[in-house]
Chains A and B, each alone.
Chain A
Amino acid sequence: MLIAAAVLFLLLRLLPGDPANALVSVGADAQQIEAARRQVGSDLPISAQFVRYLGQLGSLDLGTSFVSGVSVLEEIGRRLTVTLPLTALAFVSAILLALPLGILAAVKRDRWYGGLISVVSQLGVAVPVFWIGILLVTAFAVKLRLFPSSGFPPSGWRDPLAALHQLVLPILTIALVMSASLIRYVRSATLDVIGSDYLRTARALGAGYGEALVRHGIRNGAVPVISILGIELASTLLGAVVVERVFSLPGLGSMLLSGIEQRDYPSVQGVLFISTLMVLLVGFAADLIQRLVDPRLRGPSGGRS
């Protein structure tokens, strides 16, 4: 975490520009620019800025935004109320879409629709997120007027239905893109299971095809899929940057983007710090779940061979 923080800090400072520039406009004189630099601390040497930053991190203080003067941690908290539900719901929808389709594509790989699912999901991997977003907006918002084209209600989740209504298209956008790659993983995991010896044995012992798949297949097939899910969930968080922009959502991603544009270091560092933390946590959770599902992973002492 400390290394990540240091790398982020240095990379940001390598970008040309100055956070003080966000505070001045054409017409400001040299004196005013210097005053702005003093205010944000960009007149200090980088080492001094870094020490200051570490001190803040140590006391779990992410600082205040250079531009808006708002506490970064509070702002991140507000933004997370958009980004977390968006990511979580998109993730669940993607799984709900990908699991049946992926298994179907594997089991019925000889039928035309099995093949079709594989081809479409292959294509889906190649399509950029923003393009799907634009297509969905054009079809469901502009033409059909079913969902709003963008935005998030100011009342937030106090009116959950209105909030959900606003989030349908962004969720669908992420879910579609994410399920495309998930389907492929689920399909290949299922294929492995279908071709495995234990499944053949189970069937030889009298279990039906479906029963064998459910009793023995799912657990075995789930292990590789879960680790992929962990990675996918983490990348969904990052994919939210693009989706939030397309749908003008006040989430973490849009905070990051405007922060970078303005060289608002505290905001950028804060967002990256929190999202790095979340990615690590997700990875950790995926590990734990894998161990729950597959007893063989629970360490050498407790393992069965």
Chain B
Amino acid sequence: MTALPIRASRAPLSVLKATTAAALLVMGLGPVLAAEGGTDATINIGSLYEPQNLDNTAGAGQGINEAFNGNVYEAMFRLNDDGSVSPSLVKDFKVSDDGLTYTFVLQPGVTFHSGDPLTSADVKWSIERVTSPDSKSSRKNSLKPIASIETPDDATVIVKLSSRSISLPYNLSYVWVINDKAKDLQSTEDGTGPYALEGWQRGAQLAVKRFDKYWGPKPENGEVVFKYFTEATALNNALLTGAVDVITSVQSPDSLAQFKDNPDFTVAEGKSTTKLILAYNDRVAPFDNVKVRKALARAVDDKKLLEAVWGDYGTLIGSFVPPTDPWYVDLTKTDAYDPESAKALLTEAGYPNGFTFTIDTPNYDPHPLAAQFLQGELAKVGVKVNINVITANEWYTKVYKAHDFQATLQEHVNHRDIVFYGNPDFYWGYNNPKVTDLIKASEEAKTVDEQTEKLKEANIQIAEDAASNWLYLYPQIVVSKKSVSGYPLNGLNSQFFAYGIKKAE
């Protein structure tokens, strides 16, 4: 939805402004002055992703990672904005020679917001919360190799694995360390982060305040308020009018011009991990045929689509792996746009006159637009597309759970999620034993280099098989007031570390 331009005549408006302003002042309703800058400043962050609750293992949505990861809760390790992983609540760790025993020593002097000290028992409880049968965490599977957790003393945690897991530190960066005495994690918190929850007004905003007993460096601001919006236009207006200082991730390309041409704002482009893909159900005909999938990949001009949606922003990808993942290879040349060879491949595959299929299309941007674009592109090679619009909720029932679909459009936001292609039971049903083995072996690798090599090989194979049709990588655009700086640009896994944000005085 775009705002309608208004070209009202200046004179009557300014008269109206003066009189209304005067009236308001008399009534004591003058516009609230923006908060002061400096080290005690309040940073107002505008976002479209309100958490549904405050527990990241109970369906809170990506908004909770944005607000809480690294801000309210910390993990044993931290996934930095550049994609690297560094110890956070862990001071030191050792890995046994067989790679099956990890010994972690915790940071001393860490205090929960409730005042309790951090102990190894809290860490054990926190990990088991994610791996428990009740957990709805999407990360549960990645922690499967954990066989047992021991706590010989208050500062030491020993994790024993059933098989090697080279990404254990990375996977632990998703596991919030919570006080094991905490209750009602859906509406309260007890973490160790630089901010403590101050208040949450559902449907409107969530405020966190600097925690004075924080063990690490003091945040650059005193308070952070996440303000939530359902309409991108309303969010943009809030930034224009100064109600928010920064927008975590701009999702309406049309609105960028008003900020780019305005010296009061900074438009910054980071690297995203969000991919728009056309996923086929690789189990069913004709998509069980590699040639058909390759033909469809060649029939679609991804560049044209990206430009239509995002203009100059965004990145083309040749596979599911974005450039920030260590196993990225430039695969845009594999099955590049070539409608002639697409037709030839279709003939070879036994569909000289094309075929008809249905794309289950989520009802929110950019999916409907992309579906129409695909309809047009594929018609040129004789393939007819029906568009079936569904809600996000139906998508889970029909596509994700029941696998009752031919093809679907979907955005995948996670970092390092190539592993989904190693799971033949995943919704798209891609099943290449070579890839499954490579992905499994990569996790059991002895070194990061070995892991990277194996995943690169898997990546290339997946692209060769045209397992899905990877359309483009979203841009990650953060817009802020000129006076505000120090925010994370890439927002990996929707994280938005707020402690470095400064507001000029």
Contacts and interface: CB of A to CB of B under 8 A. Distances in A.
A27 B29 contact: no
B152 interface: no
Interface in B400-419: 400-401, 412, 414, 417
B3 interface: yes
Interface stretch (B16-24, B86-94, B115-123, B449-457): B16-24
A149 B238 contact: yes
A23 B55 CA distance: 11
A152 B32 CA distance: 13
B261 interface: no
- Counting chain B CB atoms within 10 Å of each CB, the highest count among A27, A148, A151, A165 belongs to A27
Interface residues of A, number: 63
A24 B396 contact: yes
Nearest to B5: A138
A254 B205 CA distance: 13
B420 interface: yes
Nearest to A262: B393
A28 B400 CA distance: 10
Nearest to B56: A25
A46 to B, nearest CB: 15
Contacts of B3: 134, 137-138, 142
Nearest to B201: A154
Interface string B3-17: 111101000010011
B483 interface: no
B338 interface: no
Interface stretch (A31-39, A188-196, A230-238): A31-39
Contacts of A261: 391-393
Contact of B59 (A16, A67, A134): A67
A236 B401 CA distance: 40
- Counting chain B CB atoms within 10 Å of each CB, the highest count among A154, A161, A249 belongs to A154
A75 B186 CA distance: 14
Interface in A153-171: 154, 161-162, 164-165
Interface in A17-76: 17-18, 21-33, 35-36, 39, 67-70, 75
Nearest to A154: B201
Interface string B135-157: 11111110000000000000000
Contacts of A162: 32
Contact of B228 (A30, A139, A248): A248
A29 B241 CA distance: 44
Contact of A23 (B13, B133, B136): B136
A281 to B, nearest CB: 24
Given A151-B204, A246-B234, A141 B32 contact: no
A258 B391 CA distance: 12
A247 B234 contact: yes
A143 B13 contact: yes
Contacts of B392: 21, 261
A4 B203 CA distance: 27
B135 A32 contact: yes
Given A17-B393, A68-B52, A28 B241 contact: no
Interface in A117-148: 131, 134-135, 137-139, 141-148
- Counting chain A CB atoms within 10 Å of each CB, the highest count among B8, B20, B207, B241 belongs to B241
Given A149-B237, A151-B238, A254 B230 contact: yes
- Counting chain B CB atoms within 10 Å of each CB, the highest count among A30, A131, A151 belongs to A151
Contacts of B24: 146, 165
A109 interface: no
B8 A139 contact: yes
B58 interface: yes
Contacts of B228: 248
Contact of B243 (A17, A33, A148): A148
Interface string B353-371: 0000000000000000000
A16 B135 contact: no
Contacts of A30: 401, 425
A298 interface: no
Interface string A174-212: 000000000000000000000000000000000000000
28 contacts: A24-B138, A25-B138, A26-B420, A28-B137, A32-B136, A67-B52, A67-B59, A68-B187, A69-B187, A70-B186, A134-B3, A137-B237, A138-B3, A144-B13, A146-B21, A147-B31, A150-B234, A151-B238, A151-B243, A162-B32, A248-B228, A248-B238, A250-B203, A254-B230, A255-B203, A257-B230, A258-B230, A263-B393
